[in-house]
Amino acid sequence: MRLLRLLSWLISPLALLATWALVAHLGIFPRNLLVPPAQVLQTFEELLASGELLEHLGNSLSRLGLGFGIGSLCGLAFGVLMATSKNVEVYCGPLFHTLRQIPSIALIPMFVLLFGIDETFKIIIVAKTAFFPVALAAGEGVRGIPRSYFEVADVYRLRWPTFVRLVALPAAAPPIITGFRISLTRAWVVLVATELLAADSGLGQMIEMARQMLRIDVVMVGVVVTGVIGFALDYGLRRIEQHLFRWQTR
């Protein structure tokens, strides 16, 4: 069963790889614009051996970790607060729902002017991207808690922090974990796009510098690594989600 599942996963990547190799071999596009997979693999090995790829990847992942940590925790707190406080919902809800419609990429020019292109700028962009999906998921999750849970909390006179820790968060955990997964993958995409436009290191910056020097092989290495990392992040959180909430499918 696992072998069949693995084979089903490999069909589309192998088909894409074969098509890529065939198109490159036929010379439909100039070789300096579409390099064959073998050359990309060779370049990957060279970048890995020199440490350049690991350095850029490490910089990107450190920014992702810090920005996502800040944004997701703030989003979790705000989402729970907005779901449990009518005043927060009334006064902050309209602004929240307006700001979450603004693409993070659209804020890059303004943030560059305010913070420059150092680490602060990139971490803020990632945090902003992570904040809204988690806040929205946490808010919807807490609102979906059965009313009886709140009544029991009132009977036991639970304080608000205790109620959140022992009742709200465990009951709303499934949508919250889904919000974490969505926000993490979005944050990764936005981070790489941000590094393409304004950064001095990271996977996005490596891709952009390679584009300027017409090193399409390096560009393809960066693109493939970006996709693999994004898939790994999403798959990892999906597995955690399935393991934690496997009882829901029974």
Q: In this structure, what DSSP letter does residue 145 have?
A: S
Q: For every one of its 250 residues, what pLDDT tens digit does the chain have, with 9 covering 90 and above?
A: 666 676 777 788 888 888 888 888 888 888 778 899 999 999 999 999 999 999 999 999 999 999 999 999 999 999 999 998 889 889 999 999 999 999 998 898 888 888 888 889 999 999 999 999 999 999 999 998 888 888 777 778 888 888 888 888 888 888 999 999 999 999 999 999 999 988 888 999 999 999 999 899 999 999 999 999 999 999 999 988 888 777 554 4
Amino acid 1: pLDDT: 62
Read off the tokens for 46: 């060279």
In sequence order, which residues have a C-beta less than 8 Å from that of residue 167 and are 6 or more positions away? 145, 149, 152, 153, 158
Residue the block writes with tokens 């050359």: 39
In sequence order, which residues have a C-beta less than 8 Å from that of residue 96 and are 6 or more positions away? 78, 82, 132, 135
Burial class (CB in 10 A: 0-12, 13-18, 19+), 108: buried
Alpha-carbon torsion angle 130, 131, 133, 136, nearest 10: 170
Q: Output 204-212 pairs: Cβ under 8 A, ≥24 positions apart.
A: 204/60, 205/56, 206/52, 206/53, 206/56
CB atoms within 10 A of CB 18: 11
Burial class (CB in 10 A: 0-12, 13-18, 19+), 28: exposed
Amino acid 250: pLDDT: 45
Residue the block writes with tokens 């959140």: 164
Amino acid 84: pLDDT: 87
The fourth-level CATH superfamily of domain 37-245 is MetI-like (1.10.3720.10)
